[in-house]
């Protein structure tokens, strides 16, 4: 499954606009990302924890007979105004309970189906693009086919090296450049420097 997101021209064909059945096939925890822009009040770089959710559109096929996929970046938060919370609640058809708001595993949505509204837009380079406009609950009784893409879930707090290495380069670089990713790479480097195998050393052994 290709999870790479990039500006593209040429023969690139965006996902068709309209309402589509979507099956969640990818959840990529990107960790805490540092924005190139500073906070207007503090002057410090903006940082937020991000996650990318990807859906397969089983009823919309590309020229190679493979289903289209589309995804959306979210701030990894269930705060009242967070887009992730709004989309998840619209998807499941009810609000989160107080207990769920205290800790909801996104892995619960992997393999689950929804109704996606896809809209087209013009990218900065002038080419056509497609993005998720909204996420909604499916009508009961909707036939849901088995997804053709392999389902992938990467949790930066429960690092699985095999899953990480199987991600596309774009995602590996994004994760490695996150606050958590850099901390992990430092641990690996220090372990190797101390003659270890490259597995992260204990937190107590980090010098700062």
The owner of tokens 């837009």 is 121
Is pLDDT at 119 greater than 80 in this prediction? Answer: yes
pLDDT at residue number 204? 46
CA 73, CA 63: separation in Å to the nearest integer? 26
- State yes or no: pLDDT of 188 exceeds 50: yes
Give, for 187, the enclosing helix (H) or strand (E). Answer: helix 179-193
CB distance 62 to 68 below 8 Å: yes
Nearest to 171 by CA among 70, 30, 20: 30
In angstroms, rounded to a whole number, what is the distance separating the alpha carbons of residues 172 and 6? 14
Tokens representing 106 are 């996104």
**Statement: residue 7 has pLDDT above 70:** no
pLDDT score of 207 more than 60: no
Task: Return the minimum-mean-pLDDT range out of 21-30, 38-47, 86-95.
Answer: 38-47
d(CA 94, CA 117): 19
Mean per-residue pLDDT, 93-103: 93
Residue 190 pLDDT > 50, yes or no?
A: yes
pLDDT at 1 over 90: no
Q: Examine the pLDDT at 135 and tell me if it is beyond 90.
A: yes
Closest CA to 66 of 141, 115, 2: 2
């Amino acid at each position: 499954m290709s999870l790479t997101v990039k500006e593209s021209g040429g023969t690139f064909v965006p996902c068709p606009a309209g309402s589509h059945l979507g099956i969640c096939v990818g959840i990529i925890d990107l960790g805490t990302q540092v924005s190139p822009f500073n906070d207007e009040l503090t002057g410090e770089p903006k940082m937020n924890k991000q996650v990318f959710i990807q859906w397969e559109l089983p009823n919309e096929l590309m020229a190679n007979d493979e289903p289209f996929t589309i995804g959306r970046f979210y701030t990894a938060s269930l705060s009242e105004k967070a887009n992730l919370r709004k989309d998840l609640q619209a998807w499941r058809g009810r609000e989160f309970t107080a207990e769920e708001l205290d800790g909801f595993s996104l892995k619960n949505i992997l393999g689950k189906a929804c109704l996606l509204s896809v809209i087209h837009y013009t990218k900065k380079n002038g080419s056509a693009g497609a993005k998720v406009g909204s996420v909604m609950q499916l009508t009961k009784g909707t036939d849901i086919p088995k997804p053709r893409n392999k389902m992938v879930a990467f949790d930066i707090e429960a690092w699985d090296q095999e899953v990480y290495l199987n991600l596309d380069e774009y995602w590996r670089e994004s994760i490695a450049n996150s606050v958590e990713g850099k901390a992990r790479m430092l641990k690996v480097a220090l372990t190797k420097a101390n003659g270890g195998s490259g597995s992260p050393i204990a937190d107590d052994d980090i010098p700062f």
